[in-house]
């Protein structure tokens, strides 16, 4: 395994000091290393990979040097537009070094949402004309790969990539989260489920939220197939819920969202505000972290979701931070016409033994569609 300190020295030797992107669990220890203060490293955490690619381009324009763009391969699709229409050889020839976490690598056990992208990642890079190498777990071999990749970048003035598999970086010492007076997301989900009728429709976002919702529903004996879990397509849960709400105007539609996911696709607030579906109820769990990839900070500490929702055309928005506030707040939230938003401040943390839904995504889709059909 590569020690983060050794990789940092490698980057310094090759003048790779500007990093931007969206974190991935395959190199979460490197992300944790970058989060700590380093006078010679700059790390710009972006809300999505398209934005990060443009930030990297801006860095090159101002410095003449390539930035390091880090991302999970699921975000590779978001980079296609700026890679081809900004950085590509027919446009500005912007060099950058892409550090891509290879989720869904063929032959490795992986969640459903990572499998297809895992297979096509090398093919997609080849199709885009982006040369790539696997990052070895030996630091000497890794330096040879970085040097080779930089030679490609410097020769072509175009992007090149290294693919990072699980287990390449040595874990850092586990960090303990500071004590927080806030509640866990799982506890809040269980309490909120007590107010949501089985006749309501519920869409949940990427990461731990859907897994905790699934376990809470099983524990509470909720058998209705009224829940749509969105394990991939980060940031798309509100859009899915919007499409459903417009077709089922007589049913209440609740979406359980996260701060990182909402920031990634924040333009959806304007679309929801413009459509103004009265049955749309938006719950945002905000722990200021990308929890499922290692707890890296999001940018939600710089955002007031309540003000954003109201400015985007939501009819109302409420923020709470304790379970004592839920009864009164949720009653008002669910009773008032939407679109409206309930921001729930929570602490970082989840159980290590969380399970995944037992049925396949396609089986869950069919059950959910049958449930929706019965609402006619």
Q: Kindly report the CATH number assigned to the domain that includes residue 347.
A: 3.40.50.970
Pair 119, 215 in one domain: no
Residues 15 and 65 sit within 8 Å (Cβ to Cβ): yes
CA distances from 2 to 23, 59, 125, 134, 165 (A): 18, 27, 24, 13, 12
Angle ∠(256,349,71) on CA atoms, nearest 5: 75
Segment 56-63 long-range contacts (CB within 8 Å, at least 24 positions apart): 56/18, 56/20, 56/94, 56/96, 57/82, 57/86, 57/87, 57/92, 57/94, 57/96, 59/18, 59/20, 60/94, 60/95, 60/96, 61/94, 63/18
Pair 218, 345 in one domain: yes
Domain boundary, last residue among 132, 164, 196: 164
Angle, in degrees to the nearest 10, between helices 4-13 and 28-35: 70
- How remote is the C-alpha of 375 from its chain's centroid? 32
- Quote the CA–CA distance of 226 and 214 in Å, as a whole number: 11
- Side-chain-side CA neighbours of residue 93 (13 Å): 8
- Quote the CA–CA distance of 19 and 33 in Å, as a whole number: 12
331 in a structural domain: yes
- Quote the CA–CA distance of 312 and 303 in Å, as a whole number: 14
Pair 198, 333 in one domain: yes
Cα torsion angle, 23, 75, 225, 336, sign: positive
Phi, psi of 5, deg, nearest 5:
-65, -40
CA distances from 67 to 8, 12, 107, 255 (A): 14, 12, 31, 36
172 in a structural domain: no
pTM here is 0.92
Pair 338, 226 in one domain: yes
Q: What is the pLDDT of residue 353?
A: 85
Range of the domain at 16: 4-164
178 in a structural domain: no
Phi, psi of 187, deg, nearest 5:
-65, -40
Q: What does the DSSP 8-state code read for residue 292?
A: G
Domain boundary, last residue among 114, 135, 164: 164
The SS3 call for residue 173 is: coil
Pair 193, 327 in one domain: yes
Q: What is the pLDDT of residue 174?
A: 63
Domain boundary, last residue among 110, 131, 164: 164
pLDDT tens-place values along the chain, 376 residues long? 999 999 999 999 999 999 999 999 999 999 999 988 888 999 999 999 999 999 999 999 999 999 999 999 999 999 999 999 999 999 999 999 999 999 999 988 888 889 999 999 999 999 999 999 999 999 999 999 999 999 999 999 999 999 999 999 998 766 666 677 888 999 999 999 988 988 899 999 998 999 999 999 999 988 889 999 998 899 999 999 999 999 999 999 999 999 999 999 999 999 999 999 999 999 999 999 998 888 898 999 999 999 999 999 999 999 999 888 988 898 889 989 999 999 999 999 888 888 888 889 999 999 999 999 988 6
Residues 6 or more apart whose Cβ sits within 8 Å of residue 59: 18, 20, 65, 67
Number of neighbouring beta carbons within 10 Å of residue 82: 23
Q: What is the pLDDT of residue 177?
A: 62
Number of neighbouring beta carbons within 10 Å of residue 123: 9
Tokens (6 digits) for 154: 């410097």
Tokens (6 digits) for 348: 């970082």
Q: With residue 342 as reference, give the H or E element that holds it.
A: strand 340-345
282 in a structural domain: yes
Pair 219, 343 in one domain: yes
> What is the number of domains present in the chain?
2
Pair 244, 212 in one domain: yes
Q: What does the DSSP 8-state code read for residue 87?
A: S
Pair 60, 207 in one domain: no
Pair 151, 215 in one domain: no
176 in a structural domain: no
Q: With residue 348 as reference, give the H or E element that holds it.
A: none
Give exposure, 196-221, as e/b (b: 16+ Cβ within 10 Å). Answer: beeebbbbbbbbbbbbbbbbbbeeee
Task: Name residue 146's beta-bridge partners.
Answer: none
Measure CA of the first residue to CA of the last residue in the chain; give whole Å: 56
């Amino acid at each position: 395994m590569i020690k983060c300190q050794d990789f940092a020295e490698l980057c310094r030797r090759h003048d790779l000091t500007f990093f931007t992107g969206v974190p991935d669990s395959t190199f979460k220890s490197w992300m944790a290393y970058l989060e700590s203060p380093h006078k010679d490293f700059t790390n710009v955490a972006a809300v999505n990979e398209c934005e990060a690619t443009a930030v990297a381009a801006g860095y090159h324009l101002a410095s003449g040097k390539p930035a390091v763009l880090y991302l999970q391969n699921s975000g590779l699709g978001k980079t296609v537009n700026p890679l081809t229409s900004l950085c590509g050889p027919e446009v500005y020839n912007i060099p950058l070094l892409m550090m891509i976490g290879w989720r869904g690598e063929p032959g490795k056990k992986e969640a459903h949402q990572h499998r297809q992208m895992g297979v096509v990642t090398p093919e997609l890079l080849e199709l885009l004309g982006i040369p790539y190498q696997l990052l070895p777990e030996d630091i000497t071999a890794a330096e040879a790969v970085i040097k080779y990749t930089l030679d490609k970048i410097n020769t072509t003035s175009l992007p090149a990539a290294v693919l990072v598999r699980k287990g390449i970086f040595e874990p850092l010492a586990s960090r303990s989260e500071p004590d927080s007076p806030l509640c866990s997301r799982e506890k809040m989900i269980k309490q909120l489920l007590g107010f949501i009728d089985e006749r309501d429709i519920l869409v949940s976002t990427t990461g731990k939220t859907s897994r905790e919702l699934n376990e809470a529903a099983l524990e509470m004996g909720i058998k209705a197939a009224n829940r749509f879990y969105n394990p991939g397509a980060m940031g798309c849960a509100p859009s899915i819920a919007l499409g459903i709400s417009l077709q089922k105007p007589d049913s209440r539609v609740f979406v359980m969202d996260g701060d990182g996911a909402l920031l990634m696709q924040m333009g959806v607030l304007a679309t929801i505000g413009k459509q103004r579906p009265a049955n749309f109820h938006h719950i945002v769990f905000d722990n200021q972290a990308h929890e499922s990839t290692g707890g890296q900070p999001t940018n939600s500490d710089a955002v007031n979701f309540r003000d954003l929702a109201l400015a985007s055309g939501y009819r109302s928005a409420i923020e709470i931070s304790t379970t004592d506030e839920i009864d009164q707040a949720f009653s008002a939230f669910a009773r008032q016409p939407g679109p409206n938003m309930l921001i729930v401040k929570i602490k970082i943390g989840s159980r290590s033994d969380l399970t995944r839904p037992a049925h396949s995504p396609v089986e869950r889709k069919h059950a959910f569609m049958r449930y929706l059909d019965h609402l006619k």
